Amino acid sequence: MRCATIRIQNWWRNVTVARKAARATRREYQLTRAAVVVQTRWRALTARKRFVASRQAAIVIQSYYRMRIATRRYKTIKYAALIIQIYWRAYVAGRRERLRYLSLRQAAITIQRRYRRKRIEREERCRRQDEVALIATKIRDECGEAIPGDQDVTTKLALPGSDYWQEMISVLRSCNSVGMLLTCLNSLDTITILSPTVCVILCELNLANDIYNTIAQNNRSLPWMKVCLRACSILITLTKYSYTRKYVLKKEYALALVKLLITSLKDKEVFLHCATLIWLLSQDEDYSKALAMCPQINWLMKNIQQKVLKETVVARLQKLKDLEKLYPSCEPDRNNVQKPRLFTDISFAVAAIVKITRT
């Protein structure tokens, strides 16, 4: 019994110890578990605090760094803006100074240009006055006592823009009064014979064309024949000077001259003047060819030959030996003392024209 009791006691004690051990183990497990939970919570709290602290530190660092970047960028932009402002202000100031300089330079150039123009105009005016005075003196010397001693007369003749020449141009171009036209041509005829200088001025004013137009407008009346006589006389004078001949060699007016020649058969003086003019102009080869190539001129010249160059006249002309002595002088009247100024015979004039023009 005792053994059984001891065994039961041992068993019970073992059960009790086992229960205590199990309870202690469970208690230890629970405590361990609780400690682990506590530790986990604590570690989580500590880690969170550390994370929050790190995050805050990172935010602070980032804020500081961003502030440094923003400050640096602001300083860079500010410095760039200052540089741009400096350059812009310098550019504006430079442009303002350049515009001011250009304005002053342009003003100086304008003043210089006007001064030079005024000076040139003054010099040109003085030169023209000297030239006019020289030409007036030359005209006075050429004309001698034919022109009154009044200096204003020769000055008007020497000045192409004078009232005298303007009046001449107006009369020649309008042809309103035959009397005024005849007076004008008489004056021009006299002065051109006396003064070669006036001949040059007359040609430079293109009055040769106006004189030709006057001849072309004739209507065969006696007053107009006198007008044509003076017009031909002026053109003869101009033709005899080498420097004015080119102004008179007008091929387009050749037909008008031949028409005047055939209409003036009954007026010997006009005929001889016109024939002399045609003969003098025909000394130019081109002009002579133009006459020969015009059918109307050829027909008119044949009519003139039939009326003037009859058999008795031709026979008389053939008997003359030295015909050239009877030709009018090609030299200006001032230098001519031997040959006549004009043809003296109608038949001889026609024969001379036919010979030189081969019409």
Quick one: pLDDT at residue 198? 80
Quick one: pLDDT at residue 315? 54
Spatial CA neighbour of 132 closest among 154, 150, 163, 148:
154
Distances in whole angstroms, Cα of residue 55 to Cα of each of 68, 79, 178, 214, 270: 19, 35, 125, 119, 132
pTM over 0.85: no
Instruction: Return phi, psi of residue 213, to 5°.
Output: -65, -35
The arithmetic mean of pLDDT across residues 278-306, rounded, is 89
Q: How confident is the model at residue 317 (pLDDT cuts 50, 70, 90)?
A: low
Quick one: pLDDT at residue 313? 54
Quick one: pLDDT at residue 145? 55
Which is more confidently placed, 17 or 158? 17
The answer for residues whose C-beta is within 8 angstroms of residue 194's C-beta and 6 or more apart is 142, 143, 144, 146, 147
Q: Is the pLDDT of residue 141 over 70?
A: no
Quick one: pLDDT at residue 25? 87
Mean pLDDT of the chain: 83
Quick one: pLDDT at residue 160? 66
d(CA 235, CA 248): 7
The arithmetic mean of pLDDT across residues 343-353, rounded, is 84
Quick one: pLDDT at residue 320? 57
Structure tokens at 299: 């027909």
The arithmetic mean of pLDDT across residues 80-86, rounded, is 94
